[in-house]
Amino acid sequence: MSVSDYEEILKYYELRETIGTGGFAKVKLGRHLLTGEKVAIKIMDKVALGDDLPRVKTEIDAMKNLSHQHVCRLYHVIETSKKIFMVLEYCPGGELFDYIVSKDRLSEEEARVFFRQIVSAIAYVHSQGYAHRDLKPVSLNC
């Protein structure tokens, strides 16, 4: 971790533990220095993204335009020469997949609540002219 890569993000946020990892990114818990609000900070290496960089920039543009109670909010984007930092709403419940595994299974009533939230979010996303294209329990937060 080069300090210069993180210099800009550290002006606004304290970085804490890693709360998620993926193929091209890691997600750290963060805290806004002025408000103390917890956030999730998705950190992506531009070189590792390679040909996916335009797709990520399209995703960022889409997220900037979305505001719905069941869609994770994008608060801030910081781009440096080597990194992209996406500051997102922190969802302390974690991934839907982990929640389901921890409970072994969901009751019909609980599944119905999640299903309504997912359908509401997807209907909104579609109404704004976007499609998610990667819906699965590990891509959804509770």
DSSP letters along 10-77, please?
GGTEEEEEEEEE-SSEEEEEEEETTT--EEEEEEEEHHHHGGGHHHHHHHHHHHHT---TTSPPEEEE
What pLDDT is attached to residue 2?
61
Asked whether residue 57 falls in the same domain as residue 107, the answer is no
Asked whether residue 80 falls in the same domain as residue 103, the answer is no
Grouping H, G, I as helix, E, B as strand and the rest as coil, residue 85 is strand
Place of tokens 């930092």: 85
Asked whether residue 48 falls in the same domain as residue 88, the answer is yes
Place of tokens 């440096």: 80
Identify which of 64, 63, 56 has the alpha carbon closest to the alpha carbon of residue 84.
56
Asked whether residue 1 falls in the same domain as residue 47, the answer is yes
Asked about 134 being catalytic, the answer comes back as yes
Helix H or strand E encompassing 89: strand 83-89
Asked whether residue 33 falls in the same domain as residue 83, the answer is yes
Q: What is the pTM of this model?
A: 0.89
Does residue 26 register a pLDDT over 60? yes
Instruction: Name 141's Cβ contacts closer than 8 Å, sequence gap at least 6.
Output: 72, 91, 93, 94, 95, 96
Indicate the pLDDT class of residue 36, thresholds 50, 70 and 90: very high
Q: 45 - beta bridge partners? A: 83
Asked whether residue 84 falls in the same domain as residue 118, the answer is no
* Average pLDDT, rounded, for the chain: 94
- Condensed to tens digits (0 to 9), the pLDDT of residues 58-113 reads 999 999 999 999 999 999 999 999 999 999 999 999 899 999 999 999 999 999 99
What pLDDT is attached to residue 132?
86
Identify which of 9, 125, 15, 3 has the alpha carbon closest to the alpha carbon of residue 59.
125
Structure token digits, residue 19: 């709360």
Domain count for the chain, please give it. Answer: 2
Catalytic residue among 51, 52, 98, 134: 134
Asked whether residue 3 falls in the same domain as residue 48, the answer is yes
Ligand-binding annotation for 42, yes or no, is: yes
Asked whether residue 80 falls in the same domain as residue 17, the answer is yes
Asked whether residue 16 falls in the same domain as residue 64, the answer is yes
Asked whether residue 29 falls in the same domain as residue 62, the answer is yes
Does residue 118 register a pLDDT over 70? yes
Structure token digits, residue 1: 């971790």
Owning domain of residue 77:
1-92
Measured CA to CA, the distance from residue 5 to residue 109 in angstroms comes to 46
